[in-house]
Chains A and B, each alone.
Chain A
Amino acid sequence: MTRKKRRLYILLLCAIGLGSATALTLTAFQDNLVFFRSPSDIVRETPPPGRAFRLGGLVEEGSVQRQGEYQGRPAIRFRVTDGAHAIPVVFTGVLPDLFREGQGVVTQGMMGEDGTFRAREVLARHDETYMPPEVADALKRSGHWNPAQGAAPPAANWNTLDPQRPPAGQRSGS
Chain B
Amino acid sequence: MIPELGHFALILAAMLAITQSFLPLWGAQRGDVRLMASGAPLAVAGFIAIGISFAALIWAYATNDTTVVNVVANSHSAKPMLFKITGTWGNHEGSMILWVLVLAGCSAAVAGFGGSLPSALQARVQAVMGMISLGFLAFILFTSNPFERIWPPPPDGQGLNPLLQDIGLAIHPPLLYLGYVGYAVTFAFAVAALIEGRVDAAWGRWVRPWSLAAWSFLTMGISIGSWWAYYELGWGGYWFWDPVENASLLPWLAGTALLHSAIVVEKREALKVWTVLLALLAFALSLLGTFLVRSGVLNSVHSFASDPARGIFILCLLGIYVAGAFALFAWRAPAMAPAGFFAPISREGGIVLNNLLLCSITAVVFVGTLYPLFLDLLTGQMISVGPPFFNAATAPLALPLVMAMAVGPMLAWKRAALWPVLQRLWWAACVALLAFILTLALAGWHVLSALGFACAFWLLAGAVADIADRAGVGRTSLRNAWNRARNLPRAAWGAAISHAGVGVTILGISGMGLATEKLVAVPPGGSTTFAGYEWRLEGVRDFVGPNFTARKATITVLRDGRVVHVMEPSKRYFPIGRTNTTEAAIRTSPAGDLYAVLGEERDGEAVLRLHNNPLAPWIWLGAGIMALGAAFSLSDRRIRIAAPARRRKDEAEAAA
Q: Tell whether, in the assembled complex, residue A13 and residue B519 are in contact, meaning their CB atoms are under 8 Å apart.
A: no
- Mark interface residues in A74-109 (1 if CB within 8 Å of B CB, else 0): 100000000000000000111101100000000010
Residues of chain B with a CB closer than 8 A to A18's CB = 360, 363
A33 CA to B600 CA, complexed, in Å: 32
Q: Does A169 contact B (CB under 8 A)?
A: no
Q: Is the CB of B383 within 8 A of A66?
A: no
Judging by beta carbons under 8 Å apart, are B359 and A17 in contact? yes
A132 partner, pick from B299, B343, B361, beta carbons under 8 A:
B299
28 intermolecular pairs with C-beta atoms under 8 Å apart: A1-B344, A6-B343, A9-B344, A13-B352, A18-B360, A21-B363, A25-B363, A28-B389, A28-B390, A29-B385, A31-B388, A32-B388, A32-B389, A34-B385, A66-B602, A74-B602, A74-B607, A94-B582, A94-B597, A94-B609, A95-B600, A97-B580, A97-B582, A98-B579, A108-B384, A124-B233, A126-B301, A132-B299
Interface of chain A residues 11 through 58 with chain B (CB within 8 A): 13-14, 17-18, 20-21, 24-25, 27-29, 31-36, 54
Does A61 interact with chain B (Cβ within 8 Å)?
no
Report the nearest A residue to B392, measured CB to CB: A28
A128 contacts which chain B residues (CB < 8 A)? 578-579
Interface size class of B (residues with CB under 8 A): 35 or more
The 9 closest A-B pairs by CB, nearest first: A36-B382, A32-B389, A21-B360, A94-B599, A97-B580, A28-B393, A28-B392, A32-B388, A17-B356
Distance of B234 from chain A, by nearest CB (Å): 8
**Which single residue of chain A is at the shortest CB-CB distance from B598?**
A94
Task: Knowing A6-B341, A67-B602, A74-B520, say if A32 contacts B301 (CB, 8 Å).
Answer: no
Contact present for A94 and B388 (CB under 8 Å): no
Other-chain contact of B392, A31, A35, A132 (Cβ < 8 Å)? A31
Tell me the minimal C-beta distance from B186 to chain A in angstroms: 22
Taking the closest CB of chain A, its distance from the CB of B311, in whole angstroms, is 14
Residues of A within 8 A of B (CB): 1, 3, 6, 9-10, 13-14, 17-18, 20-21, 24-25, 27-29, 31-36, 54, 66-67, 73-74, 92-95, 97-98, 108, 124, 126-128, 130, 132-134, 137
Q: Does B403 contact A (CB under 8 A)?
A: no
- Name the residue on B nearest A33 (C-beta): B383
Residues of A within 8 A of B580 (CB): 97-98
| Neighbour of B519 across the interface among A31, A67, A73, CB < 8 A | A73
**Alpha-carbon separation in the docked complex, A34 to B602 (Å):** 33
Q: A34-B385, A36-B384 are in contact. List 15 more A-B contacts (CB 8 A).
A: A6-B342, A18-B363, A20-B397, A25-B363, A27-B392, A28-B368, A28-B390, A31-B392, A32-B385, A32-B392, A34-B383, A35-B383, A74-B599, A93-B609, A126-B163
Chain B residues whose C-beta falls within 8 Å of the C-beta of A73 in the assembled complex: 519-520
Are A1's CB and B341's CB within 8 A? yes
Task: Tell me if B222 counts as interface (CB < 8 A to partner A).
Answer: no
Closest B residue, CB atoms, query A65: B602
Q: Which residues of A are found within 8 Å of B353, using beta-carbon distances?
A: 13
**CB–CB B382/A94 < 8 A:** no
List residues of B whose CB falls within 8 A of some A CB. Answer: 161, 163, 233-235, 299-301, 338, 341-344, 352-353, 356-357, 359-361, 363-364, 367-368, 371, 381-386, 388-390, 392-393, 396-397, 519-521, 571, 578-582, 597, 599-600, 602-603, 607, 609
A130 → chain B closest CB, angstroms: 7
| Interface hub of A73, A93, A126 (most chain B Cβ within 10 A) | A126
Give the chain A neighbours of B368 by CB distance below 8 A. 25, 28
Docked complex Cα distance between A3 and B343 (Å): 10
Q: Inside 8 A of B521's CB, which chain A residues have their CB? A: 74
Q: Which residue of B lies closest to A6 (CB)?
A: B341
> What is the bound-complex CA distance between A74 and B344, given in angstroms?
59
Question: Is B383 within 8 A of A36, CB to CB?
Answer: yes
Q: Is the CB of B299 within 8 A of A133?
A: yes
Chain A residues near B397: list those with CB within 8 A. 20-21, 24
Distance between Cα atoms of A94 and B389 in the complex (Å)? 25
Q: When the two chains form their complex, are residues B383 and A6 in contact, meaning their CB atoms are under 8 A apart?
A: no
Q: For A29, what are the chain B residues with a Cβ–Cβ distance below 8 Å?
A: 371, 385, 389
A54 contact from B359, B384, B607, Cβ within 8 A: B384
Instruction: State the Cβ distance, B225 to closest chain A Cβ, in Å.
Output: 15
A14 to B580, CA, bound (A): 50
Known pairs A74-B607, A93-B609, A97-B579; A130 contacts B393 (CB<8 A): no
Residues A127 and B161 in contact, CB atoms below 8 Å apart: yes
How near does chain B come to A127, taking the closest CB pair, in angstroms?
7
Task: Give the CA-CA distance A36 to B578 in the complex, in Å.
Answer: 29
- Tell me, in angstroms, the Cα distance from A133 to B363 when the chains sit together: 27
A28: which B residues are within 8 A, CB to CB? 368, 388-390, 392-393
CB distance from B382 to the nearest CB of A (A): 4
The complex places the Cα of A34 from the Cα of B384 at a distance, in Å, of 5
Residues of A with C-beta under 8 A to B359: 17
Instruction: State the Cβ distance, A41 to closest chain B Cβ, in Å.
Output: 10
Q: Given the complex of chains A and B, what is the CA–CA distance between A66 and B603 in angstroms? A: 9
Report yes or no: B360 in contact with A33, Cβ–Cβ below 8 A.
no
Min CB gap B403→A, angstroms: 15
Chain B neighbourhood of A130, CB < 8 A: 299
CB distance from A63 to the nearest CB of B (A): 16
- Report the separation of the CA atoms of residues A21 and B353 in the bound assembly, to the nearest whole angstrom: 14
Would A14 and B161 count as touching, CB distance under 8 A?
no
Partner of A32, one of B300, B386, B396, B520: B386
Chain B residues lying within 8 Å of A124, measured Cβ to Cβ, are 233, 235
Q: Report whether A33 and B363 are in contact in the complex, using a CB–CB cutoff of 8 Å.
A: no
